[in-house]
Amino acid sequence: MKSDLPKVLHKVAGRSMLAHVLASVSAAGAANVAAVIGPGREDVRDEIVRLREDARVFVQERRLGTAHAVLAAKEAIAAGFDDILILFGDTPLVTPASIDALRAALREGVAVAALGFEAANPSGYGRLIHDETGGLIAIREEKDASAAERDITLCNAGLMAIDGRSALGLVEAVGCANAKGEYYLTDVVALARANGLTARAILGEESEALGVNDRLQLAEAERIAQDRLRRAALAAGATLIAPETVFLSADTKIGRDVTIEPHVFLGPGVAIADRAVIHAFSHIEKAQIGEGAHVGPFARLRPGAALSADAKVGNFVEIKSATIGAGAKVSHLTYIGDADIGANANIGAGTITCNYDGFFKYRTKIGEGAFIGSNSSLVAPVSIGAGAYVGSGSVVTRDVSPGALAVARGRQVEKQGWAEAFKRAQQEKKNQKNPAR
């Protein structure tokens, strides 16, 4: 990856690849999780525990192959679980449905179930080898495959389920007599057959086998994940006018009859209620958008933004850690940070809440039905009462009573003839500096 960040912590659709895998196994009902990490990877450990507090973490001190990695969690495998499922932290596109299918095979008496896929280009993948009866007899890594085996297009996706009664014995029996001198987990299929047990290939989608090893593959995983998320949003009743230009996160929640215009980015933690409209070129993260609310175009909702029903946040408006009441309008060219805006309030263009003194953040409160004139600065902490007016261009530093008018600006002064006198004086200075030749 050419990165200081561990590979499995790189993000796809706003979530680490590791988080995607753990989310899938949790959705598939995995009651216990054991994770194998490399030495010195406390950052990976922290992510695992953040996502699954009950997870047990084991360290593989030396990297001698996939079976060797699994045996790092020998203590967990030996606990006697019915099913042992093995997944990889860099395959973020695996689905709960495929995990369920692997477990279903074990319930039918299969000892080893391997997820496979039909590859358009099988180069680089292990091949699933079947006998004349259709039974899975081996998984052959490409470097060890014969020419005939390399012609097989049914490939190994890497995910595997092993009957808990056989798992530890099979994995411990794996040797390293292969081209790379490593302990291949895939050898458990042949070992199972040699012990009179059955193995089966479960067919999945090729995308589920995508292991991310570089930035190009990361981008491909993002493309596939976004396509899945867009299709799910459309199927659930949202309108994406140009779906390919809308970017979602894995946890994005979108209600029915929501309309999302082109070139919208939804980061993690976004929930959009029914009938809301997100106009073009808006950027939203960790924000809640109420029913019928309008956002954008060219709006930015930062973490903690919460819009109530029918609120409006218009073009070139930034909202951060603020609640916008029902029917309130923040229509254009405005910054609202650390604030509470009451229902049906109107915030004029160019208004800003001055919420930070270089050390601490302070809150602004604006009551229901208040009207804030354009180009006003509200210096927090400050409260504007319900129904109050703030005159345009004001710098408000004290609370304003409900129903009152606050005007905080210099008195306008007009000096007749000043402009012409000023221009003459400036021209004379310019002539003295650059006399005509």
The DSSP string of 210-233 is ----SHHHHHHHHHHHHHHHHHHH
Report the pLDDT value the prediction gives residue 124, as an integer from 0 to 100: 87
Q: Which of 49-58, 139-148, 219-228, 337-346 has the lowest mean pLDDT?
A: 139-148
Do 303 and 222 fall into the same domain?
A: yes
Q: Is 241 inside any structural domain?
A: yes
Q: What is the pLDDT of residue 179?
A: 81
- Identify whether residues 79 and 57 lie together within a single domain: yes
User: Of the candidates 209, 227, 259, which is a domain's last residue?
Assistant: 209
Around 83, how many Cα atoms within 13 Å sit in the side-chain half-sphere? 25
Q: Are 199 and 113 in contact (CB under 8 A)?
A: yes
430 occurs within a structural domain: no
14 and 149 belong to one structural domain: yes
Residues 270 and 356 in one domain: yes
Pairing of strands 288-289, 271-272: parallel
Do 230 and 193 share a domain, yes or no?
Answer: no
Beta bridge partners of residue 272, listed in sequence order: 254, 289
Q: For residue 268, what are the domain limits?
A: 216-406
Q: How far apart are CA 277 and CA 320, in angstroms?
A: 19
Q: What is the pLDDT of residues 395-410, one digit of tens each?
A: 999 999 999 999 999 8
80-93: pLDDT as tens digits: 899 999 999 999 99
240 and 205 within one domain: no
Instruction: Indicate whether 252 and 371 sit together in one domain.
Output: yes
Within 10 Å of residue 354's Cβ, how many Cβ atoms? 18
Is the pLDDT at 202 greater than 90, yes or no?
yes
> Is 62 domain-assigned?
yes
> Dihedrals φ, ψ of 426, to 5°?
-70, -35
Calculate the average pLDDT of the chain: 96
Distance CA 176, CA 187 (A): 10
User: What's the number of domains the chain is made of?
Assistant: 2
On whether both 249 and 393 belong to a single domain, the answer is yes
What average pLDDT score do residues 355-365 get?
96
pLDDT for res 437: 55
pLDDT (tens digit, 9 = 90+) per residue, 290-306?
A: 999 999 999 999 999 99
pLDDT of 383 strictly over 60: yes
Q: Is 189 helix (H, G, I), strand (E, B) or coil?
A: helix
434 within domain boundaries: no
Residue 433 maps to a domain: no
pLDDT at residue 436, as a whole number: 64
Tell me the catalytic residues. Answer: 332
Query: Same domain for 189 and 286?
Result: no
Q: Which of 169, 189, 209 is the last residue of a domain?
A: 209
pLDDT category at 287 given cuts 50, 70, 90 is: very high
The answer to whether position 415 is within a domain reads no
Q: Is residue 2 part of a domain?
A: no
Residue 178 has a pLDDT of: 84
- pTM of this prediction? 0.92
Among 149, 174, 209, give the residue marking a domain's end: 209
Torsion region of 368: left, alpha or beta (phi above 0 gives left; psi -120 to 50 gives alpha): beta
Residues 39 and 182 occupy one common structural domain:
yes
Instruction: CATH number of the domain at 232, please.
Output: 2.160.10.10
Q: What confidence score (pLDDT) does residue 180 get?
A: 86
Together in a domain, 326 and 204? no
Question: Same domain for 15 and 57?
Answer: yes
Q: How many CA atoms lie within 13 A of 159 on its CB side?
A: 34
Q: For residues 411 and 179, give the distance between their C-alpha atoms in angstroms, rounded to a whole number.
A: 86
The answer to whether position 29 is within a domain reads yes
Rounded to 5, what percent of the chain is helix, strand, coil? 25, 30, 45
What pLDDT, on the 0 to 100 scale, is given for residue 91?
96
CATH of the domain at 53: 3.90.550.10
